[in-house]
Amino acid sequence: MKAEAAAFAVLAKDAFTGKQFGRFEVLCKLGEGGMSEVFLAWQKSVGGFHRPVVLKRILDSIRHDKEFLRMFVQEAKITSGLSHGNIAALHDLSQEGPELFMVMEFVPGATLVEVAKACALAREEIPIGLTLAAVRDTALALHYAHTFKDATGRSRPVIHRDIAEKNVMVSLDGTTKLLDFGIARQAGRTCTTQMGMVKGTAGYMSPEQVRGEELDGRTDVFSLGVVLHECLTGHRLFRRDTRVDEVHALLNDPISAPSQRNRKVSMELDSVVLKALSRDRNHRYANAREMALALDRAAAAQMWEPDQRAAFIQKHFAERQQQIQQLLGDPSRTDSGEQLDHGGEPLDYSRPTDPGSPAKQALRDARRTVSVRKVTPDPIVTSSATMALDDETVVGEGESDLERELREAHERETELEGAPARGLLAFKGRRPESALSPALLAIAGTGAVLLAIVLLLILSRL
């Protein structure tokens, strides 16, 4: 237990505990990256609804950087449509004052990096059965992303571009989850990466990714091959003393079969790994599903079932499980029969809301791929200053600094894609051009009355 606590981050109350983001109550900070930080939080709602979620927000130091803001929103837009059992879900993109954050699925478990570390501490090899099942499931998740279609049936393939052990997690119940689409991009979109910059994790990028070439799903197949090789052998494949040496190794050094380091690896499994690691993408598996099927054919008998994976994670990460239980505990909740207080008034579902709100909300919902809203005490009344995150931008009154930056970032993104942002003009109080003016209506009414009188006089003489 002590060794585990020293080797892995401790999940415990910290300076962020109790901080409120609207309906979200922070439990602790989970980590920080180059662009964002993540927190474990409770999401609470009416009727005692509650669930643990992960909040991901942009770091304060770059909050007003339009390029980082664009990337953050783009990640949410890309991830929001993905719905697969082996991909950590994005629930929402929310705004609270100056804060913009993603609301994501909380996956209690351990990444493959942590699994490798736990096995090293226990002086044991990473179980082949766990490795095979995790990589097979990740391959299926990638194939889903690579062949993704939106709700209208349009093809929207998503390339992850950052497949590595750090982004593959095995949960406490044995489920594999693919994490972090932070640098993912949709195939066919214009890439805005600066000249000379390559996005990805050193030692895991495909040769074509390192060279800055146009990418397709096969780049993720190569990266997953690196993960498979390293988990089977227990050694980094392309790690060298310098970044230049790593790139040279990735592009030129011979790639040994995993069985040379691990005698438990069969020749059939060697073949799967080496094909995935072909430097010429045309010689790799055509897609990630082919790789998953090849793994099944080569080593189906060795793959662990979910209960075996769960037992392994629960054994090696028992202290983490206890920390999660202590953090979550029994959250304060309200019985479903009790009215909850929202902004000083009971929430009355029978009371009509602002007549204009449902129509405005319906328009915004129809144009959204991700909902961006202000998190306010009243969940029914939403801000009139909202931004549509698809092809059109709705600009409302009372626009905050963050909302303006979001709109400008979105407009910049659509310009880069070659599709100029189109404004939606709201005609407030304007009559249809075909409508008659009050004066014309009055004249027409008077004429009708006179005509009726004349007809009556004629009839009376008859």
Please give the positions annotated as active site: 162
- Taking alpha carbons only, the member of 251, 258, 197, 261 closest to residue 227 is 258
**233 alpha carbon, distance to own chain's centre:** 31
CA distances from 82 to 181, 235, 319, 455 (A): 11, 32, 32, 73
- The half-sphere exposure of 378 on its side-chain side, counting CA atoms within 13 A, is 14
User: How many other β-carbons are positioned within 10 Å of the β-carbon of residue 124?
Assistant: 11
The DSSP code sequence of 31-82 is EE-SSEEEEEEEEE-GGG-EEEEEEEEE-GGGTT-HHHHHHHHHHHHHHHT-
Cα–Cα distance for residue pair 39/55, rounded to 1 Å:
5
Q: How far apart are CA 348 and CA 386, in angstroms?
A: 25
Structure tokens at 152: 């209208």
The dihedral sign for the CA sequence 92, 96, 101, 105? negative
Backbone angles phi, psi at 231, to 5 degrees: -70, -35
Token look-up 């040769």 returns 207
CA of residue 39 relative to chain centroid, distance: 15
Helix (H, G, I), strand (E, B) or coil at 366: helix
